[in-house]
Amino acid sequence: MKPLQDLRILALEQYGAGPFGSVQLADLGAEVIKLEDPHTAGDVGRYVPPYQEGDDSLFFETFNRNKRSLSLDVTNRAGREVFEDLVRVSDAVWSNLRGDVPERLRITYRDLSSINPRIVCCSLSAFGMTGPRKGEPGYDYVLQGIAGWMSLTGEPGGPPAKSGLSLVDYIGGLVAALALVSGVHAARRDGRGMDCDVSLFDAAISMLTYPAVWHLNGGFTPERLARSAHPSVVPFGNFPTADGWIVLACAKEKFFVRLADAIGRPELSSDPRFGDFGGRHKNRESLVAIIDEALAARTTAEWLRILGEAGVPCGPVNTVEQALADPQTEARGLIVSTEHPRFGRVRQPNSAVRVGDEPVAYRRAPLRGEDESYVLRDVLGYGDEQIDALRASGALGPA
């Protein structure tokens, strides 16, 4: 069995953060049933351009493989009954909605515990279910601004910048997935479920890590450094070569000694200005100028070979195309493929979560409402008359 094969999750999710978290669980074997609102044509991620056709998009494929889909209006009386029947046979309710919506939709533990005392209700929202911002909508870019990330990103003197990827969304999704698995573990041990109140804001603030600790305890004011340099470790950042850029990361004394030897300047490691972390930090500009001059003499490929042989942590500044073509990407099985009726063969990055050595089977993202028969008949045991009545009521979409 797959690690989470005995886990069933009802997902009221949309767009990126929630689906990114639940796709990790689906890849690990959890049965994730997306309950898509028929009045909004399902998950909005289905309609994200540029690679979009009908009710499907490559954006949606990215975050929803290995899941199932049921069109269900949980605000409809009959739809609510279906939802509650599913709660009875599920382990968790997963949502990424505005912080005040779970209470309004009655999908919190307080609302569902009488139906299933072991149910775990995991809410991933922008700001959480408490606090003055709980009713505010929010997206990754907004949170990167509010949480201070943009003030740290970019070149000195330039405008504030976001990270190149929606990292708050993805980190929030991973945190929520960890919370859900932990909650289910506790529920199975103790016989009682709970709420898991996770927010993008919490995730983003927690990721401030040591700059926040330095500020809170030492009054440190983070500032942008040129070429993505590290705030305390030198050399650590981007460096130009004769034809491009490389990243150097001398996070240990031994790596700086190796770097000095590799660039033909062994005396640097014994120079009193650069002999330890503190000295290199204090004399950052002088040291960076010396390294720049040395690296300008050779190409990126040459330096990667020389520094690699010397055991200096380094790497190229790849394009996305180059990163996906890296031999390590292939060796680690980081590109998987599925077959889609509209898009044909869809290749996409694999989950980074590794548990055991059993190969994972991948199924394309579901078409909207594709798993109606499976969920209603196989999971819930409904017959034709019951399903026809649901259709007539509008619970599965406009009658």
Residues with a catalytic annotation lie at 230
Q: Token digits for 10?
A: 């009802």
Q: Is the dihedral of CA 283, 288, 293, 297 positive or negative?
A: positive
The position carrying tokens 């289905």 is 46
- Taking CA atoms, 193 is separated from 98, 109, 130, 196, in Å, by 22, 7, 20, 10
Measured between alpha carbons, how far is residue 368 from residues 45, 124, 318, 395 in Å?
11, 22, 36, 15
Q: Return the closest-CA partner of residue 66 out of 306, 362, 310.
A: 362
* Angle, in degrees to the nearest 10, between helices 77-88 and 384-393: 130
What HEC string does 282-316 produce?
A: HCHHHHHHHHHHHHCCCCHHHHHHHHHHHCCCEEE
Q: Which residues of 46-69 are buried (b: 16+ CB within 10 A; e: fewer)?
A: bbbeeebeebbbbbbbbbbbbbbb
Length of the chain: 399
Query: Reduced to 3 states, what is the DSSP secondary structure of residue 46?
Result: helix
Burial of 180 (0-12, 13-18, 19+ CB in 10 A): buried
Residue 384's Cβ-count burial label (10 Å; 0-12, 13-18, 19+) is exposed
Return the closest-CA partner of residue 143 out of 124, 130, 162. 162
